[in-house]
Amino acid sequence: MKNYQKTKNFLTKNTHNWLITGVAGFIGSNLLEELLLLDQKVFGVDDLSTGLKKNLDNVKLNISKKQWKNFKFIKCDISETNNLKKIKDIDFVLHQAARGSVLKSIINPIKTNHSNVTGFLNILNFSKNANVKSFVYASSSSVYGDSKTLPKKEIKVGKVLSNYALTKKINEDYSELFFKQYNFKTIGLRYFNVFGKRQDPNGDYAAVIPRWVNKVIKNEKIYIFGDGKTSRDFTPISNVVQANILAATTKLPIKNYIYNVGASSRITLNKLISTIYEIFNVQNSERKILYKPFRPGDIRHSLANISKIKKELEFETNTNFKDSLKSTIRWFINQQ
């Protein structure tokens, strides 16, 4: 954490203007909270189609009134160019807005493309024209597709398995072109199954950890797609916040960069639900687990090699999985 602490110390003494897209979402609201705590000025954009106003209200509770005044929220669709005209003098862009979920993209590829490709290109072009210092965007581990190599290294991807993954791959390709054509600095972060506070537990497409935690709280059945041996590299939200801020402020030369952001460890779904039940102190006889068929587009195993981001950005994983899971569960319990 030495470099990140050094970066935070620098930011507290030097105010910059930031733009966060998808600011009312899970990751966006956590980035907002960290930046406001560091006394930064933040423009936040969200159309609230998946982001939640209550996430912004929750951030407000965790910071001072003075810090909250440094935040300006703009409700708009990122694919509409005119919506961005109010935003001036931005130093760093953290682009998190997207239509998430593999299943959503399979059911409605047009909406996913509109948000994740048209919207992305609009923000990328806006950032280039605004001459921002760096453009950091959320890519995804889904771009590794059918590659069976573990751990996943940035230089080797497979064929994508879903429309969602394709949109993220297109984002990376556009970013590379913007560097080659316009000498514009971009940094893509391939997230691996992020979890933490303010993650939405509701709906058919909710991420597995908040969904299962919420169901255990309500004493409802847990459904596992497949045999439960599917494994994931679950990444605490604090690691993702660190990666974004380090990426934005790095002094690396102008180029197109791609980094994995993960915990560099994996756990099966069977082990995950067992650990959740253990934290809740639910006995085996009281556990309600049912198995369903595998879902289309799902990757069997995922594990990040994070040696590149550790070397180039001095990124460090700052909490272990179980401690982060306990912290997340406490947050959800307190929201009841």
Residue labelled with tokens 């050094």: 6
> 207, 205, 263: which is closest to 234 by C-alpha?
263
Phi, psi of 18 (to 5 degrees): -120, 150
Rounded distance, CA 24 to CA 73, Å?
9
> 299, 296, 239: which is closest to 269 by C-alpha?
299
Strand partners for 301: 231
Mark whether 4 is an active-site residue. Answer: no
Name every residue whose Cβ is closer than 8 Å to that of residue 9 and which is 6 or more positions away in sequence: none
Gyration radius from the chain CA atoms? 19
Rounded distance, CA 157 to CA 149, Å?
9
Q: Are strands 17-21 and 41-46 parallel, antiparallel or unpaired?
A: parallel
Q: Within 10 Å of residue 200's Cβ, how many Cβ atoms? A: 18
Q: Are strands 267-268 and 231-232 parallel, antiparallel or unpaired?
A: antiparallel
Which residue is catalytic, options 164, 174, 257, 259?
A: 164
Cis geometry, peptide bond prior to residue 151 (ω within 30 degrees of 0): yes
What is the three-class DSSP state of 21? strand
- Assess contact for 55 and 25: CB atoms under 8 A: yes
- DSSP secondary structure string for all residues of 61-127: HTS-HHHHTTEEEEE--TT-GGGGTT--S-SEEEE------HHHHHH-HHHHHIIIIIHHHHHHHHH
Rounded distance, CA 12 to CA 165, Å?
36
Q: Which two tokens stand for residue 251?
A: 């002094």
The catalytic residues are 164
